[in-house]
Amino acid sequence: MAGGIAGALTGNGSAALADPVRAIAEAQSDLPKPADPDRQIRHVAIIMDGNGRWAKERGLPRVAGHREGVAAARRAIETARELGLTHLTLYSFSTENWRRPETEVRSLMELMKQFIESDLDKMVRENVRVRIIGDKETLPVDIRTLVERAERETAGNDGHTLQIAFNYGGRDELRRAVSLIARKVAEGVIKPEEITETHLSRALDTSGMPDPDLVIRTSGEHRVSNFLLWQAAYAEYVFLDAYWPDFDRTLFLDAVRQYYGRERRYGGRG
């Protein structure tokens, strides 16, 4: 993470080591901060797009772009923690992605397995809670077993929360939530006229999580792609031209600065 805390502590030789507190302060000096502390950003969600085009422009197979995308995801996780975010949500695999060629789908599944297997111990040590949102029931058994293990082993962590949207679609999530509420109505647990927005929010995969303050999308596309349709109703959006494998700390901080430069009205007047 060039320019970040790690760079400050390991670079510049003895000067950094002589005063690690100052080194950390200098590394954090470029972090965007809100003019109003009450507007401190808590939750960023990212639509990670452009892996395939990144690879194509370099004459590489699509899987090479996906591998670089995993590296970009790790950078985003580190920057999110540096920013003090409580939650980061990464859109990793959508319900529509099953339509891609079988070889590409297998590669994406394998990359998800490798990511969890290689990073889970670190997330446990660093007090990161992992949550997987999406339809876990229809995942391949080995993937489902692994993501359930990641959730189970980090369930007690109360630091940063990493949400991975995997086999996720906003419409599918709403369908499953409505189905759950309908069953409760049929069982007499709740009457139809008693249903509120809170009931629906609690039936979603993201139950208990704060709504995203900021949604970032890479690759130059300007659409939400069936992502957090309910939760992001009042989020700010930042669309970046960079492909996801090129997403780095600088782009992340710039997006947060854009967020702090806006006024969130939630449908009201400024």
- Residue 94, exposed/middle/buried by CB under 10 A (0-12, 13-18, 19+)? buried
CB 167 within 8 A of CB 99: no
Degrees to nearest 5, angle at CA 150 with 144 and 156 = 135
Give the pLDDT of residue 30: 85
Interatomic CA distance for residues 3 and 170, integer angstroms: 36
| Average pLDDT along the chain | 91
Mean pLDDT score, 88-110: 97
When pLDDT is cut at 50, 70 and 90, the band that residue 266 belongs to is low
Q: Please indicate if the annotation marks 49 as binding a ligand.
A: yes
Q: Please indicate if the annotation marks 75 as binding a ligand.
A: no
Q: Please indicate if the annotation marks 129 as binding a ligand.
A: no
The token pair that represents 264 in the structure block = 């969130």
Alpha helical stretches, state H, the chain: 5-10, 13-18, 20-28, 51-57, 62-83, 102-125, 141-154, 170-186, 197-203, 249-260
Task: Give strand pairing partners of 126.
Answer: none
Set 49, 119, 172, 205: catalytic member: 49
CB 209 within 8 A of CB 161: yes
The token pair that represents 142 in the structure block = 């080995």
Catalytic (active site) residue 213:
no
Set 30, 36, 38, 97: catalytic member: 97
Whether the full predicted model's pTM is greater than 0.75, yes or no, is: yes
Q: Is 167 helix (H, G, I), strand (E, B) or coil?
A: strand
Q: Please indicate if the annotation marks 148 as binding a ligand.
A: no
Mean pLDDT score, 51-79: 98
Q: Please indicate if the annotation marks 96 as binding a ligand.
A: yes
Interatomic CA distance for residues 34 and 201, integer angstroms: 28
Catalytic (active site) residue 97:
yes
Give the pLDDT of residue 23: 47
CB 54 within 8 A of CB 42: no
**pLDDT digits 0-9 by tens, 127-170:** 999 999 999 999 999 999 999 999 999 999 999 999 999 999 99
